[in-house]
Each structure stands twice: as structure tokens, then as C-alpha cells.
Amino acid sequence: MMPKAVEVITPSRLHFGLLSLHRTGPVRYGGVGAMVAAPGVHLVVRPAASLTAEGPLANRARRVARRVGLALLGAAPRVAICIHRAPPEHVGLGTGTQLSMAIAASLAALLGRTPADEAELARWAGRGHRSVVGVHGFVHGGLIWDPGDAAAGERAPPVHRLALPAAWRFILLRPHGLRGLWGQRERQAFARLARMPAAHVTTLRREAAEVLWPAAARGDFETFSESVYRYGYQAGMNFAAAQGGPFSAPRLEALVNHIRRLGVRGVGQSSWGPTLFALLPDEASACHFVQRLRALPETEDLQLCIAPPDNEGAKVRLIET
């Protein structure tokens, strides 16, 4: 019997940076990122007479549902999608991937279809063409490292995952009104960017493999924090021709430098931004630091959010009654 509805609650994705800028070559994109419990996407999908959607990003939800319906049914699905919560698109939180994966997972659950793996779910959703951090993070949560091994083929590149210490907290900072690159502008930016020198790719892979990942595995907050900053800065410099420097706006670079001067070392830009993150060791220190930030005049228009790591991935719940 078809369930009455499916509820999906997803984490959000922080992307620390790509290993490579291109699909061809020994390293294909790759990258490191982490899933956080807020703000996330929350939606409910129910059988209906026709395809409808309401709430934030409703138009995109309908487009995704049509795509998934064609993949699973050969036709648009007859469902009502109610989106209770979704952060804005194109701000560095992976909202498009989390929303699309949530819709694909909910429709599959309504139809009793179980994807073979996250790669199949991503194909239904039309995601994972470049970075797969958000795809794997949707399913598993945690810290995700995609080494970008092109020899593995397109379907299922090897991806590493581990749980971050539950006490750690990410402070998310986003200036109102800014958006990162997306769509045609993003494709044009990738087309214009020069191929990364092999030495740059090697530096990033070593930082991830030899410093960042081991520090996370042993819960070494200080080493992990410095490594996340170094990795993000180096990855950002590879995009300098498209964004003007290691960060997507001068104000963001100034904020990163100011936060580090205040003693917080694990700071970076997520994807194209404008969302920045600052890593604190626990809830109390995160709350205290947010209070310090709110007291500064230059942070008056910042949206601030304290987010714990999400080590479980999306929650998909069948509603039978």
C-alpha cells in the first residue's frame, strides 16, 4: 500500500573547495566538505490529483519532480509537495542538491522504489555532475572527501566519509543580498578558468589526506581548524580569475581575516559563497562568539546561524496515517 505521505529533513552542505577545476585529467573535480544540521530542507510529499508544490523554491521543486517522475514513471508524478523550510539557492549551502535529492528520495519512497545507491538517486535527481560532496552527504552525513579519482569512472567515484565530533559547531555567516555564481555564469566561469597546475592539485590532496582528514579522525580541533583554512584558501586561489581572489568578494575576505584575528582559526567560504563558516569547539564558545560578532557594526546585516555537524544524513519518514 502506498504511504499517505513522505517527510524528508535534510542537512545543509558546506563545501571547502574543489581539488580540480575540470572533468578531464587524472583528478576530476573532487573536493572536501561537511554536512551541518542547519538550516537544511524540510518537505512533505503526498499523493494528489496532479503535480503541485508550495513553499520556498516551489517552482524548482516542480521541475525536479517532473524530472524524477519521468525517470521513475515515464510521466510527471501526481503529488503535492509542501516545502516547510529551505535556505536560499546559490548561497553556498548546497540547497539545490539537498532539495533535489529530497524530492527524489520522497518520490521513490512513495512508489516503493529503492535506489541501488546514492549514484542512482543522484541520477534521478539530476545532481552530482561536478561535486558529489552534497550527494553523499545527503545519504550519509559527516565529513566527505572525494579524491576525484578519474580512473574510477563517472558512475561511482570512491568517496571517504567520517563523523565529525558532535560537540563542534559551525557558525554560518551570510551577508544579505549576495549570491554566488550559478547556472550559465558558473558554466562560463569554469570554461574561462585555466587548468590547475598539477602541483596545485597535489598540494590540495596532500592537505586533505595528510592533515585535514587525520585531524578530523582523531578529533584534533586546532589542527583541523588550521587545515580547513589552508585548504579553503588554496582552493579559492584557483578561482581567483573568476572571483577576484580566494574569496568571492572583498568584504568576505575582510570578514575572514577579522574572524581569524579574533582567534578563530577554522574559517572559510563555502563553495562560491557568500556563506562563510567559522568553526568553534562547542556550543558555549559558539554562542559567545556570535555575541561578539553581533556587537560589531560591520556585522549588522549578517545572517548568523550556529549549526552542529550532521553525521547521519537526511531523515526520510513514511507517514502511514
Write out pLDDT tens, residues 210-258: 999 999 999 999 999 999 999 999 999 888 777 778 898 899 999 999 9
Cell of 103: 524530492
Residue ranges of domains in the chain: 5-163+311-319, 169-307
pLDDT at 148: 80
Terminal Cα-to-Cα distance of the chain (whole angstroms): 12
pLDDT at 188: 61
SS (H, E, C) 258-317: HHHHCCCCCEEECCCCCCEEEEECCHHHHHHHHHHHHCCHHHCCEEEEEECECCCCCEEE
CA distances from 118 to 102, 126, 132, 206 (A): 12, 12, 10, 27
pLDDT at 155: 47
Average pLDDT over residues 7-33: 83
Among 55, 147, 46, 154, smallest CA distance to 95 is for: 55
Q: What percent of the chain has pLDDT over 90?
A: 70
Which residues have C-beta within 8 Å of that of residue 246, sequence separation ≥ 6? 232, 233, 236, 237, 239, 240, 253, 269
CA-based radius of gyration for the chain: 19
Residue pair 70/41 in contact by the 8 Å Cβ criterion: no
pLDDT at 112: 92
Put the strands of the sheet holding 267-269 in their side by side order. Answer: 267-269, 276-280, 169-175, 302-307
Answer yes or no: is pLDDT of 23 > 60: no
Residue pair 307/173 in contact by the 8 Å Cβ criterion: no
Average pLDDT over residues 192-196: 63
Helix, strand, or coil (residue 31):
strand
Cα 103 to Cα 107: distance, rounded to the nearest angstrom: 6
Answer yes or no: is pLDDT of 1 > 80: no
Range 5-163+311-319 classified under CATH 3.60.10.10: no
Please report which confidence band the pLDDT of residue 24 belongs to, taking 50, 70 and 90 as the band edges. Answer: low
Render pLDDT for 263-301 as a digit per residue (tens, 0 to 9). 999 999 999 889 999 999 999 999 999 999 988 877 788
pTM of the model: 0.91
The backbone region for 317, taken as left when phi is positive above 0, alpha when psi lies in -120 to 50, beta otherwise, is beta
Helix and strand tally (H, E) in the chain?
Answer: 11, 13
One-letter amino acid for residue 265 of the chain: R
Q: Please state which CATH number belongs to domain 169-307.
A: 3.30.70.890
pLDDT at 182: 53
Render pLDDT for 96-150 as a digit per residue (tens, 0 to 9). 999 999 999 999 999 999 998 898 999 999 997 778 999 999 999 999 999 886 5
Residue pair 22/321 in contact by the 8 Å Cβ criterion: no
pLDDT at 129: 76
Please report which confidence band the pLDDT of residue 304 belongs to, taking 50, 70 and 90 as the band edges. Answer: very high
One-letter amino acid for residue 132 of the chain: V
CA distances from 90 to 86, 138, 200, 240 (A): 12, 17, 26, 19
One-letter amino acid for residue 276 of the chain: L
Please report which confidence band the pLDDT of residue 186 belongs to, taking 50, 70 and 90 as the band edges. Answer: low
Whether the bond between 246 and the residue before it is cis, its omega within 30 degrees of 0, is no
Chain mean pLDDT for the chain: 89
pLDDT at 19: 85
Q: Which of 13-27, 268-282, 304-318 has the lowest mean pLDDT?
A: 13-27
Among 245, 243, 220, 244, smallest CA distance to 234 is for: 245
